Amino acid sequence: MKPSQITPILAGILVLSINASAATNALPSSAALPVGSSTTRGFLVRTVQGPESPVLGNNSSRAIKQLNGTLLDANGVAVVNEAVAGTNSDGGYTVDTIDFEKDGLGFDILNDVGDIVFTSGGLLFPGIPGVPANPENLPHTLNFAAEAVGYLDLPAGVTTFGVAVGADRTDVNDDDNYQVFVGTNPRDAFAAPVAKYERSVLTAAFTANQKNENTWSVDAPVAGIYPFRIVYWQTGHGANLNFYSVDNTTGARLLVNAADDGAIKSYIDTSVAAAKGPYVGEVSPADGSAGNAATLPVTALIIDGAATVATADVKLFLNGTKVIPQLLSKAGGKISLRYDPNAARTDKANLIRLEYRDSAAVSRTNSWSFEIEAGGVASSTVTGQWDFDRGDLSATIGKPLAYFDGPTGLTQQGSVYGTTTELGVPMIDGVDAKIIKVPGTVDGVIKRELGLIMDHGIKPNGGGSLVNQYTLIFDILVGTTGPGAASLLQLSSLANTDDGDLFWQGNNFGQGGNGYNGTGAFTPGEWHRVIAAYDEAATPPVVTKFVDGIKQDDWTANQGLDNPRRAMQPTAILFGDGDQDERRDMYVNSIQVRSGKLSDAEMFALGGASASGIPKNIPASDVTGQWDFDRGDLSATIGKPLAYFDGPTGLTQQGSVYGTTTELGVPMIDGV
């Protein structure tokens, strides 16, 4: 991991050149309000802050619930809001621009050649630091979320924006985050998402206190006033939020609603009633999600606006049939709804329709869909498999892989298809199998362009907005030369501008502190079946690792729901390493990805690499624990390790002896 280039320091803030661009998103025509429907310039900003401890979840669900006042702690008690309230009716503030830094310190953002492209004035976040609920504690800048709402005056066509937020070392896993929504009422849970955070620290993966910039574009169908909402959240370390437009010709950044000529105008008001009316602030299960437990209730939160909603005017439908919620109550301008569907229903598909009528006699309808584990039984389904028998990236199951840098790029040029003998590596169980060699370097140099895009086909699950429950399996041989670590997977950056997220290293595999625990069985130059089974929704979140049917570890360090280094976006990059220092040649016979986390018994049953590839079907097993003592300790073959009753250095440990039957002076077992 090579050192990062560090640029000058301004007002005590470490300034780094980091940015990434995203695709253009079309704005919904329904969101275009008439020109002239807004008159007062500015943004509406509201902040909410939890206590300094415990650490709150670093995901969008936590931020939205915190903003809605529905976030609960581990004991089911509402998380207190310590932020200082503003003078607006909702406790928020009116500000001119979004240009915040937690300590009020300015900083510069530089482009790739070191030129200053944006200078922040470093305004304090409104309401932060707050007033601790416990008077014995000091004010702090942790565990807060913010929303910024502005009605933006946009021309027809494409407009490019930039958002900068705080980031830290890639292995700290504590970057700030944000999402941007546009809709008639941008606070509505069904407003269109148009941008979100992507980690992009090409030259600074292992430097603290960074400023991560994303640029992204929107395409307005007509000139008009478009309601925008930025949802931002901070957990720990540095914090900043800056929102500006980007000139596509010059690259110049200009704060939205700045006084400068050419700045995009933002307003705090609108004469359009629908943009100020009641809205659905939360729904669960999430729209488009899968793998939900059949017992999971359907919930919704309706929040009053300029008009209000009575519980008698709310109706709920499941798959076209009207149902009666078990909970339908109102408090503090919010209606909470919960319906407990039949857990024995057998149809995976669920369509919810929510209807309500407000005090202005306006009726609204929202629909969303999700899938359940029918019958209440969790399952793992193969959604993608690639066996390379055809000498290309075509799929055995699912969608084909793709070369990260295009069909004629460096990855394609360096990839070689053939048999194990033709490529000069050992056969698999004596069979000359067809494989692919994925290049580790180009002319001896590691390149960011190298990698394979995997469109895995798994829907968001685990209660988050990303894929939190999945299993990735490789039949693979790691090259014998190169750096001491080699990337297997890139999750956090679809542009591959960040360090990888799963590595071979030291004959084990994982990432970060305590991430490489194992038996040392993942040796280079030999074929192995390597499995990483993720459940970021578990308590605690975990990645279970197996090599050749042997359990390596239940890896729990630096995990969490929607963690960008653990949860999958719609695609992932196999063997990608954006900071260009940890790659080797990889020889691959088969790759498989499954929705859901395989059980230990299933991973044990899969055993080692085979020339025929990874099996699609795994024998059923209800074994939850097995201990075989082959490692000379209490580790598990399946399940959790045993533990000495009186502690790791107690009498049981002192008296326990590991060895062969012969060494321990007892008969062999069936002559072995």
pLDDT of residue 115: 86
Residue range 114-164, pLDDT digits in tens? 889 999 999 999 999 999 999 999 999 999 999 999 999 999 999 999 999
Half-sphere exposure of 93 (CA within 13 A, CB side): 20
Task: Give residue 4's pLDDT band: very low, low, confident or very high (50, 70, 90).
Answer: very low
The rounded percent of the chain whose pLDDT value lies above 70 is 96
What are the residues facing 438 on neighbouring strands? 586
pLDDT of residue 39: 96
Secondary-structure percent of the chain, ordered helix, strand, coil, rounded to 5: 5, 40, 55
Cβ-based neighbours of 75, under 8 Å, separated by 6 or more: none
Helix (H, G, I), strand (E, B) or coil at 652: helix
Report, as an integer, the average pLDDT of 90-94: 97
Judged against a pLDDT cut of 70, whether residue 622 lies above it is answered with: yes
Question: Rounded distance, CA 522 to CA 204, Å?
Answer: 29
Return left, alpha or beta for 536; rule: phi > 0 is left, psi -120 to 50 is alpha, else beta. alpha
Residue range 425-471, pLDDT digits in tens? 999 999 999 999 999 999 999 999 999 999 999 999 999 999 999 99
pLDDT of residue 374: 80
Question: Rounded distance, CA 515 to CA 274, Å?
Answer: 50
Judged against a pLDDT cut of 50, whether residue 10 lies above it is answered with: no
Report, as an integer, the average pLDDT of 491-519: 94
Question: Rounded distance, CA 465 to CA 569, Å?
Answer: 9
With beta carbons less than 8 A apart as the criterion, state whether 66 and 72 touch: no
User: pTM for this one?
Assistant: 0.91
Judged against a pLDDT cut of 50, whether residue 16 lies above it is answered with: no
What are the residues facing 195 on neighbouring strands? 180
Residue range 175-185, pLDDT digits in tens? 999 999 999 99
The whole-chain average pLDDT of the chain stands at: 93
pLDDT of residue 1: 29
Instruction: Spell out a b/e string for 128-146, using b for 16 or more CB atoms within 10 Å of the CB, else e.
Output: bbbebeeeeeeebbbbbbb
